[in-house]
Amino acid sequence: MDPRDVVIIGAGAAGLMCAIEAGRRGRSVTLIEHSKAPAEKIRISGGGRCNFTNMHTTAENFLSGNRHFAKSALRRYTQWDFVDWINGHNIPWHEKTLGQLFCDHSAKDIIAALLADLKASGGELRLSTSVTEVAREGDGFRLTLSDGSTLGCQSLVIASGGKSIPKMGATGFGYDVARQFGLDIVETRPGLVPLTFDPDMLTRFKPLAGVAVDGVACHGKTRFAEAMLFTHRGLSGPAILQISSYWREGDTLHVHIRPDLDIFDILRTARQANGRQAVQTALGEHLPKRLAAMLVEEFGLSGNLADQSDKKLRAFADHLAAWPITPTGSEGYRTAEVTLGGVNTDGLDSRTMQARAVPGLYFIGEVVDVTGWLGGYNFQWAWSSGWCAGQVA
Ligand code: FDA
């Protein structure tokens, strides 16, 4: 086959966006995807409705070794540019909460629109194909494909994503290519992932499995106010997924349970009204009953409300404002929504995503050490970084 101007490896959100943009510039583009279908993560995302961006996206919503790196791409192709693209394809959408935008019908609407744009821009998509070798050839690259054929290209774009959910085709391919060309990798770890307990803690928390409560999950100065959920393995829910990206083994999280309530005032008022009421009963009118029972027992508030001094009630309320929990691990890449770390941004140009030391080589999307919060930020990074590379590759 003739050499191509651009070969992109990985037909996810970032790869498709890049292919469309490069094709629109008249570049011959081949997109190589080892799975049978493109964009599988878009298809399953957001419960099948894809939380495709967030209205409030700024570089502050991302973790990276260089917190300034994402600014340029996010400014050049913003959440509103992507909303315009969605509107241009007549895909109905809505805001769910906290600026998170979802498709009204199905994530498949976005995939169909991306594939239509890819076709219109002249891009070729090769499914069930993988790359077995990448080599520098002159100013460009020569790829050996799984069918034994070779393919030359001027620009090579790595859009193969992170390690999350290996069952869905995630590989460490992008990191291997980066290392091959001398780029540094920031250590990878699962992000936006449920946290787990050791057997002793599981026994302690077992009665709470299935209980959900609003709280603020805190790790140092980082705080996320959303729902949290006790599971059979440990903790999940949006607040926990968010804080998991900051948590490290051995760290203690602090949870402010129901920050909207003044627990001290509630219990003191209940004591005045009915001193014979058990503390857990009074608390259980505001918190899930099983959680109220556990908290009261753990804190040692035996007896009824009349037995509790103001000092004791105050100390208990303070305890619920910073309830310490020390998870022992995470569910890992098997369920993580994203991969933290990746190709070190020091080696990339923030405007184009090109490797500084390897002209013609680009890294976009999740493979890069830029990881968003929960809430549509990760797709926005994929669109923005893919768009930027597509202007120059
Ligand atoms: P992505 O992983 O999407 O694509 C990479 C592609 O490369 C895949 O198609 C893969 O098969 C292919 N590939 C890998 N190795 C290859 C190789 N060696 N050769 C050829 N092809 C290869 N984010 C968000 O903003 N809103 C949301 O609602 C959600 N929801 C969500 C749910 C679930 C269950 C998960 C796991 C993740 C999310 N995310 C999310 C995160 C989001 O899906 C993710 O950040 C983006 O898909 C990343 O886009 P990329 O294009 O970089 O990688």
Chain segment 41-70, per-residue pLDDT in tens:
999 999 999 999 999 999 999 999 999 999
What's the rounded Cα separation, in Å, for the pair 281 and 299?
A: 15
What's the rounded Cα separation, in Å, for the pair 100 and 343?
A: 27
Name residues contacting ligand 1 (CB within 6 A): 9-15, 32-35, 40-41, 44-46, 50-51, 130-131, 159-161, 164-165, 169, 171, 173, 337-338, 365-366, 376-379, 382
**pLDDT over 90 at 113, yes or no:** yes
Could you give the domains of the chain? 2-189+339-390 (3.50.50.60), 195-330 (2.40.30.10)
Q: How far apart are the first and last CA of the chain?
A: 20
Tens of pLDDT, residues 14-44:
999 999 999 999 999 999 999 999 999 999 9
Question: Using CB atoms within 10 A of its CB, is residue 318 exposed (0-12), middle (13-18) or buried (19+)?
Answer: exposed
Cα of 190 vs centre of ligand 1, distance in Å, is 13
Nearest CA to ligand 1 atom 32: 45
**pLDDT over 60 at 287, yes or no:** yes
Whether ipTM > 0.95 holds is yes
Torsion-angle region of 148 (φ positive above 0: left; ψ -120 to 50: alpha; else: beta): left
Question: Using CB atoms within 10 A of its CB, is residue 95 exposed (0-12), middle (13-18) or buried (19+)?
Answer: exposed
Site of tokens 């995470």: 330
What count of other Cβ atoms lies within 10 Å of the Cβ of residue 44? Answer: 13
Nearest CA to ligand 1 atom 11: 169
What's the rounded Cα separation, in Å, for the pair 113 and 269?
A: 58
Tell me which amino acid residue 359 is. P
pLDDT at 138: 95
- Which of 133, 337, 380 should be mutated for ligand 1, with most atoms under 8 A from CB? 337
**pLDDT over 60 at 313, yes or no:** yes
Cα of 143 vs centre of ligand 1, distance in Å, is 22
